[in-house]
């Protein structure tokens, strides 16, 4: 599904990703962990197409297409979804209008008719129920005045609406109370299938208790320095990152 | 009757226009209107059409626009020409009471029978003569003839317009709309003078819309005086929708008495050169005023909102919000003068002007001007000029929304705050969809008017 080969990226001439290699197959859940400043969020931004970062080398294919050649909106329409670490507040754009525009743009890309108003509202209702999101949130402007937890739940709701093939969750667990974490994790698990994949970027083991990864990778100084099964997350939780750093420096 | 005048040197020919036609100007006009002409004319001629050397018109030099060869109507049949016969008004979704003017002259209105008793609506020429006691008490008592040349010009030359009187305690349930159609076979200079009196405890909402329906150049000087008496509520929504050859100087002068609550909203959706003079005088305690505006400009359009909130008495509140979206080489200006006089303690005055510049050539001059002479007041102002938010744009694109659609969503989001202030629900809906169309580029002046349903004809779609 996703193949990253020797990916280098920089911002303001500072190289942040220094040769990432990663392959994600359908149905897999990958966790990417690592200390602050290791490049985790940069990786997710580069994959989603944020123009702030310049890709200086490497290749990424997504379902056999050259991902880096696609505009951000086309990446989304191809089935890539980024759950933002800091979802943006957009006062004045209603959630309904936002989601209807997004869903219909996806449909147009697939040569499908746009949803009628009633079809769309039905879809919204179903998905809201699926991810246990409060009805009130969708009556408001996009993320405006939402609490941290509400914003993250809203990301998962959008994910449910857009049904991506690959979801990248960028520190979706940061700042979440245990209840919101459960809602978010349940949402992700319900949306998972053998044809879809998930990349969970996180600092902590906690989320991985709920979303169980097949692989755990440690990102350090812009490279994946260690990959293993889910037990690696537990080990990191226990011992911290210092031993990885040490291993890497040696 | 129409006269054609050729204006090259401004004062010279305007002076001639006035002096040669004084008998036509006075003919059939109310006495009080005529009595005031000479002094107003002197004030106008001594100042002249404002250039940008006049501080208050610094960002809008009107002189070039008031030059040219224009028809001027000196009677109703001169203004209401053949072209204007064609208009027909259907009102979509809006149940309103309609008054039509053509080139500033009263043309027709709906049946009055459904309106509450005592409400007077009609041509200012006629109604002033039928009710001289009301007219003379108010007319020109709240228009700064001595300080503003354009006000003086209007007072000297205006012959017709609308007269609206809402008697004590009457609540007009549906909005009154004044539609001014501009049309003609030649370029035209237009004056219009409206007088609105809302008596004690009365309420009325008004919409003013000015349309060009023929492709000629129109230069308009219109002025509305409003008197909001004790405990009254008054709303004015001014929808400006004109082609690029139009120059409009539009005055809205509101005078408030105790416990009155007024709202003005200037929605400049399409224009050539627009100058709005908005002045609110809070001449009694416990007044509340809401002064709003939205301007959407592109090409070489120019919009200048000049506002003056006069806190003359204590315990009043004013809320001011103007927002603009400027594209292409559009230019604009906002001046927000707030005067808190020495006795006006416990004043609350809030002002905000936010602008979105979409290109490097678009330009806005924003100038808050607070003069505070009382010491126990709360006043704030903010002016911003910015571009579309890159992060918000990326967020939208990351959800599959293309850049163009994202731009429209974000521009609309920017504008919506002003639209939300509209206190007439169906109008709010109509404006909302019209603004969206404007951003999509699907809107032109050929669209039917949101307010009156007036269809533009293809020739006029410049």
In chain B, the percentage of residues whose pLDDT exceeds 70 is 93
Give A114-165 pLDDT, tens digit per residue: 999 999 999 999 999 888 887 788 889 999 999 888 999 999 999 999 999 9
Confidence of residue B78 (pLDDT cuts 50, 70, 90): confident
Contact A73 B401 (CB under 8 A): yes
Report the pLDDT value the prediction gives residue B115, as an integer from 0 to 100. Answer: 86
Q: Inform me whether the C-beta atom of residue A164 falls under 8 Å from chain B C-beta atoms.
A: no
Please indicate whether residue A158 or residue B434 has the higher confidence score (pLDDT).
A158
Give B256-289 pLDDT, tens digit per residue: 999 999 999 999 988 899 999 999 999 999 999 9
Contact A92 B395 (CB under 8 A): no
Contact B397 A93 (CB under 8 A): no
- Nearest-angstrom CA–CA distance, B264 and B292: 6
- Nearest-angstrom CA–CA distance, B121 and B106: 11
CB B160 within 8 A of CB B106: yes
Residues of B within 8 A of A51 (CB-CB) are 394
Report the pLDDT value the prediction gives residue A142, as an integer from 0 to 100. Answer: 94
Confidence of residue B101 (pLDDT cuts 50, 70, 90): very high
Q: Is the pLDDT of residue B88 over 80?
A: no
B376 exposure class (CB count in 10 Å sphere: 0-12, 13-18, 19+): exposed
Q: Inform me whether the C-beta atom of residue B416 falls under 8 Å from chain A C-beta atoms.
A: yes
Q: Is B216 contained in some domain?
A: yes
**C-alpha distances in Å from residue B18, one per residue of B11, B12, B148, B232:** 10, 10, 18, 38
Beta bridge partners of B337: B308, B369
Contact A88 B417 (CB under 8 A): no
Q: In terms of Cα–Cα distance, which of B75, B45, B5, B66 is closest to B152?
A: B45
A99: nearest CA partner in chain B: B399
Tokens of A170: 């960028």
**C-alpha distances in Å from residue B308, one per residue of B251, B254, B302:** 11, 10, 20
Of A51, A92, A141, Cβ closest to residue B414: A92
Q: What's the structural domain count of chain B?
A: 1
Give B13-37 pLDDT, tens digit per residue: 999 999 999 999 999 999 999 999 9
Give B289-303 pLDDT, tens digit per residue: 999 999 999 999 999
CB A172 within 8 A of CB A152: yes
- 3-state SS, one letter per residue, for chain B: CEEEEEECCCHHHHHHHHHHCHHHHHCCCCHHHHHHHHHHHHHHHHHCCCCCCCHHHCCCCCHHHHCEEEEEECCHHHHCCHHHHHCCCCCCCCCCEEEEEECCEEEEECCCCCCCCCCEEEEHHHHHHHCHHHHHHHCCCCCCCCCCHHHHHHHHHCCCCEEEEECCCCECCCCEEEEEEECCCCCEEEEEEEEEEECCCCEEEEEEEEEECCCCCEEEEEEEEEEECCCCEEEEEEEEECCCCEEEEEEEEEEECCCCEEEEEEEEEECCEEEEEEEEEECCCCCEEEEEEEEEECCCCEEEEEEEEEECCCCCEEEEEEEEEECCCCEEEEEEEEEECCCCCCCEEEEEEEEEECCCCCEEEEEEEEEECCCCCEEEEEEEEECCCHHHHHHHHCCCCCHHHHHHHHHHHHHHHHHCCCCCHHHHHHHHHHHHHHHHCCCCCCCCCCCCCCCCCHHHCC
Tokens of B279: 């002045």
CB A41 within 8 A of CB A170: yes
Chain A contacts in chain B segment 392-411 (CB below 8 A): 392, 394-403, 405, 409-410
Across the range B86-111, mean pLDDT stands at 75
Q: Is the pLDDT of residue B233 over 80?
A: yes
B413: nearest CA partner in chain A: A92
Q: Is the pLDDT of residue B442 over 80?
A: no
Q: In terms of Cα–Cα distance, which of A14, A148, A15, A20 is closest to A85?
A: A148
Contact A73 B397 (CB under 8 A): yes
Spatial neighbors of B450 by CB under 8 A, at least 6 apart, are B209, B239, B427, B430, B431, B434
Of A76, A90, A109, Cβ closest to residue B398: A76
Of B394, B400, B413, Cβ closest to residue A50: B394
Pairing of strands B348-357, B317-326: parallel
Report the pLDDT value the prediction gives residue B95, as an integer from 0 to 100. Answer: 80
Residues of A within 8 A of B399 (CB-CB) are 73, 76, 98, 102, 158, 162
Nearest CA-CA distance, residue B107 and chain A, Å: 40
**Residue B176, domain extent:** 2-284+422-460
Across the range B199-205, mean pLDDT stands at 97
Confidence of residue B89 (pLDDT cuts 50, 70, 90): very low
Report the pLDDT value the prediction gives residue B457, as an integer from 0 to 100. Answer: 40
Chain B contacts in chain A segment 131-150 (CB below 8 A): 141-142
Q: Is B50 contained in some domain?
A: yes
Q: Is B186 contained in some domain?
A: yes
Q: Is B453 contained in some domain?
A: yes
Report the pLDDT value the prediction gives residue B82, as an integer from 0 to 100. Answer: 60
H or E segment to which residue A81 belongs? strand A80-83
- Domains (ranges, CATH) in chain A? 2-90+163-249 (3.40.50.300)
Contact A51 B413 (CB under 8 A): no
Please indicate whether residue B460 or residue B250 has the higher confidence score (pLDDT).
B250
Nearest CA-CA distance, residue A155 and chain B, Å: 10
Of B398, B405, B415, Cβ closest to residue A101: B405
CB B200 within 8 A of CB B235: no
Q: Inform me whether the C-beta atom of residue A79 falls under 8 Å from chain B C-beta atoms.
A: no
Contact A97 B396 (CB under 8 A): no
Q: Is B72 contained in some domain?
A: yes
| Listed range (A19-33, B122-136, B370-384, B437-451) with the worst mean pLDDT | B437-451
Give the gyration radius of chain B's Cα atoms: 21
Q: Is the pLDDT of residue B454 over 70?
A: no
Q: Is B381 contained in some domain?
A: no
Return the residue matching tokens 């626009």: B65
Q: Is B384 contained in some domain?
A: no
Nearest CA-CA distance, residue A134 and chain B, Å: 21
Report the pLDDT value the prediction gives residue B85, as an integer from 0 to 100. Answer: 52
Q: Inform me whether the C-beta atom of residue A112 falls under 8 Å from chain B C-beta atoms.
A: no
Report the pLDDT value the prediction gives residue B23, as an integer from 0 to 100. Answer: 95
Give B339-398 pLDDT, tens digit per residue: 999 999 999 999 999 999 999 999 999 999 999 999 999 999 999 999 999 999 999 999
Q: Inform me whether the C-beta atom of residue B373 falls under 8 Å from chain A C-beta atoms.
A: no
Contact B397 A102 (CB under 8 A): no
Give B311-334 pLDDT, tens digit per residue: 999 999 999 999 999 999 999 999
Across the range B85-90, mean pLDDT stands at 49
Tokens of B197: 């009196």
**C-alpha distances in Å from residue A5, one per residue of A221, B85, B344:** 17, 73, 71
Residues of B within 8 A of A75 (CB-CB) are 398
Contact B399 A77 (CB under 8 A): no
Of B392, B405, B415, Cβ closest to residue A105: B405
Segments of chain A scoring below 50 in pLDDT: none
Q: Is the pLDDT of residue B460 over 60?
A: no
Q: Is B205 contained in some domain?
A: yes
Of B399, B413, B417, Cβ closest to residue A102: B399
Confidence of residue B443 (pLDDT cuts 50, 70, 90): low
CB B454 within 8 A of CB B211: yes
Which one of A88, A98, A157 makes the best mutation probe of the B interface by having the most chain B beta carbons within 10 Å? A88
Q: Calculate the CA dihedral of residues A33, A39, A43, A48 and round it to 10 degrees.
A: 110
Of B397, B412, B414, Cβ closest to residue A72: B397
């Amino acid at each position: 599904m996703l193949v990253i080969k020797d990916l280098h990226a920089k911002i303001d001439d500072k190289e942040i990703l220094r040769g990432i290699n990663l392959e994600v197959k359908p149905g897999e859940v990958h966790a990417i962990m690592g200390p602050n400043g290791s490049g985790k969020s940069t990786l997710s931004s580069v994959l989603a197409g944020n123009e702030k970062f310049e890709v200086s080398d490497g290749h990424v294919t997504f379902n056999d297409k050259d991902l880096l050649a696609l505009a951000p909106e086309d990446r989304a329409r191809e089935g890539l979804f980024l759950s933002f670490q800091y979802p943006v507040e957009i006062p004045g754009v209603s959630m309904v209008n936002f989601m209807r525009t997004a869903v219909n743009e996806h449909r147009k890309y697939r040569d499908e008719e746009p949803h009628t108003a009633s079809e769309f509202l039905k879809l919204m209702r179903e998905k809201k129920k699926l991810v246990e999101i409060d009805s009130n949130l969708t009556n408001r402007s996009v993320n405006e005045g939402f609490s941290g937890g509400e914003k993250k739940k809203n990301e998962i709701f959008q994910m449910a609406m857009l049904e991506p093939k690959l979801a990248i969750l960028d520190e979706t667990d940061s700042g979440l109370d245990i209840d919101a974490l459960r809602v978010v994790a349940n949402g992700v698990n319900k949306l998972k299938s053998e044809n879809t994949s998930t990349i969970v970027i996180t600092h902590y083991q906690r989320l991985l208790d709920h979303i169980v990864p097949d692989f755990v990778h440690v990102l350090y100084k812009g490279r994946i320095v260690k990959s293993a099964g889910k037990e690696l997350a537990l080990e990191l939780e226990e011992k911290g990152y210092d031993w990885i750093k040490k291993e890497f420096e040696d | 009757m129409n006269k054609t005048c050729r204006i090259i040197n401004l004062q010279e020919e305007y002076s001639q226009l006035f002096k040669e036609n004084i008998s036509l100007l006075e003919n059939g006009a109310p006495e009080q209107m005529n009595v005031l002409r000479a002094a107003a004319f002197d004030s106008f001629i001594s100042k002249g059409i404002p250039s940008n050397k006049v501080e208050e018109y610094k960002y809008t030099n009107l002189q070039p626009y008031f030059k040219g060869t224009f028809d001027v109507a000196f009677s109703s049949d001169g203004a209401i020409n053949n072209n204007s016969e064609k208009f027909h008004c259907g009102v979509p979704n809006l149940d309103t009471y309609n008054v039509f003017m053509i080139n500033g002259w009263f043309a027709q209105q709906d049946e009055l029978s459904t309106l509450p008793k005592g409400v007077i609506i009609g041509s200012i020429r006629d109604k002033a003569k039928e009710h001289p006691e009301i007219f003379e008490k108010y007319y020109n008592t709240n228009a700064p003839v001595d300080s503003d040349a354009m006000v003086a010009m209007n007072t000297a030359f205006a012959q017709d317009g609308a007269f609206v009187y809402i008697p004590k305690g009457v609540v007009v349930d549906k909005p009154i709309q004044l539609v001014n159609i501009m049309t003609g076979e030649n370029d035209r200079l237009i004056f219009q003078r409206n007088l609105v009196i809302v008596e004690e405890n009365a309420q009325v909402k008004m919409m003013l819309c000015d349309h060009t329906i023929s492709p000629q150049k129109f230069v308009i000087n219109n002025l509305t005086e409003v008197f909001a008496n004790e405990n009254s509520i008054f709303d004015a929504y001014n929808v400006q929708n004109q082609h690029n050859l139009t120059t409009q100087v539009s005055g809205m002068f509101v005078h408030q008495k105790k416990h009155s609550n007024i709202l003005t909203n200037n929605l400049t959706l399409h224009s050539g050169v627009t100058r709005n003079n908005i002045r609110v005088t809070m001449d009694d305690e416990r007044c509340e005023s809401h002064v709003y505006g939205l301007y959407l400009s592109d090409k070489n359009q120019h919009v200048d909102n000049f506002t003056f909130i006069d806190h003359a008495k204590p315990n009043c509140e004013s809320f001011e919000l103007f927002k603009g979206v400027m594209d292409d080489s559009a230019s604009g200006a906002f001046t927000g003068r707030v005067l808190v006089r020495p006795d006006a303690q416990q004043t609350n005055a809030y002002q905000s002007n936010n602008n979105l510049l979409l290109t490097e050539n678009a330009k806005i001059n924003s100038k808050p001007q607070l003069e505070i002479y009382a010491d126990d007041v709360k006043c704030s102002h903010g002016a911003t000029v910015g571009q579309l938010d890159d992060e918000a744009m990326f967020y939208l694109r990351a959800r599959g929304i293309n850049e163009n659609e994202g731009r429209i969503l974000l521009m609309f989001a920017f504008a919506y705050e002003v639209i939300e202030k509209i206190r007439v629900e169906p109008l709010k809906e109509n404006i909302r969809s019209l603004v969206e169309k404007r951003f999509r580029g699907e809107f032109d002046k050929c669209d039917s008017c949101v307010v009156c349903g007036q269809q533009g004809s293809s020739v006029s779609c410049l």
